[in-house]
Amino acid sequence: MITIALSKGRIFEETVPLLAAAGITPLEDPESSRKLILPTNRADVRLIIVRASDVPTYVQYGAADLGVAGKDVLNEHGGTGLYQPLDLKIACCRMMVAVRNDFDYDSAVRQGARLRVATKYVQTAREHFAAKGVHVDLIKLYGSMELAPLVGLSDAIVDLVSSGNTLKANNLKAVEEVGQISSRLVVNQAALKLKREAIQPMLDAFAQAVHK
Ligand code: PRT
Ligand code: MG
């Protein structure tokens, strides 16, 4: 049995065409089904539906053989025990520093001010500001980061931006790019050795679908 870990929403939706290229079709839709283990058209392949940030953990421990996770999530996880053979180029966005429209970020940085930064991506933010030599106090949040500067919790946030509509709707502006984000295929290293006959053709089909 090959188990593939996916999260609901954009990752599931954008992975379906790649699965199709490998001859795999989910038999249920996670948006309507309450099942967390979804069968596919192939008796030897099943999907498990987990939180986006839990995908690397399931694969790391071998509870799933493969998974799809954002680079944002993988950077926070650290990637231990994971083979990352392929950038799937799906669920693309940018990790950005954002502040209130009326906050002068550049001059705060120039003056060497200590910035309060709220984010779900503490590891990524720490690395980013350390590399820039900017002193920050990081405040860990689990969601709705956009609220933090509006109510005085922080000066800045580090969050994902795709259309920019969420920032705009909350009177925030992006001031700095932390990095380009897309989703990666992750594979359990032991599973790749033990189940290579089943897994390698899938990897090849995904690679071909991405590069076509
Ligand atoms: O929602 P949940 O808490 O379960 O987990 P999650 O938010 O990590 O999962 P999900 O499914 O929302 O995101 C899965 C992956 O999609 C992320 O790990 C990213 O790699 C990728 N991705 C791509 C995004 C976005 N684009 C994105 N825009 N993830 C989140 N967003 C959010 C962003 O955090 C912000 O709140 O969308 C909002 C901004 O969108 P715009 O279009 O208004 O700029
Ligand atoms: Mg989300």
Fold: same for 2-92+182-210 and 93-180: yes
pLDDT at residue 156 in the model = 98
Q: Give the distance (Å) from ligand 2 centre to CA of residue 28.
A: 21
Name 45's bridge partners.
2
**Count of Cβ atoms closer than 10 Å to residue 70 Cβ:** 25
Domain boundaries, the chain: 2-92+182-210, 93-180
CB 52 within 8 A of CB 7: yes
Q: Give the distance (Å) from ligand 2 centre to CA of residue 51.
A: 9
Tell me, which fold does domain 93-180 have in CATH?
A: D-Maltodextrin-Binding Protein; domain 2 (3.40.190)
Ligand number, closest to the Cα atom of 181: 1
Residue whose CA is at the smallest distance from ligand 1 atom 13: 52
**Count of Cβ atoms closer than 10 Å to residue 82 Cβ:** 22
Q: Which two tokens stand for residue 125?
A: 């933010």
Q: Is the CB of 166 under 6 A from ligand 1?
A: yes
Give which of 30, 17, 34, 24 is closest to 65, Cα–Cα: 24
- Which backbone phi and psi does 136 adopt, to 5 degrees? -135, 150
Q: Give the distance (Å) from ligand 2 centre to CA of residue 102.
A: 27
**Cα–chain-centroid distance for residue 155?**
24
pLDDT at residue 25 in the model = 98
Residues of the chain with pLDDT under 70: none
pLDDT tens by residue, 128-187: 999 999 999 999 999 999 999 999 999 999 999 999 999 999 999 999 999 999 999 999
Q: Which two tokens stand for residue 2?
A: 């090959």
**Total residues found in the chain within this entry:** 212
* Region of 8 on the Ramachandran plot (φ > 0 left; ψ -120 to 50 alpha; else beta): beta
Q: Which residues of 26-56 are buried (b: 16+ CB within 10 A; e: fewer)?
A: beeebeeeeeeebebebeebbbbbbebbbbb
**What CA–CA distance (Å, rounded) separates 164 from 58?**
31
Q: What CATH code is assigned to 2-92+182-210?
A: 3.40.190.10
pLDDT at residue 201 in the model = 97
* Residue from 89, 161, 171 to probe ligand 1 pocket by mutation (most atoms less than 8 Å from CB): 161
**DSSP type of residue 112:** T
pLDDT at residue 212 in the model = 82
**DSSP type of residue 31:** T
**What CA–CA distance (Å, rounded) separates 94 from 126?**
17
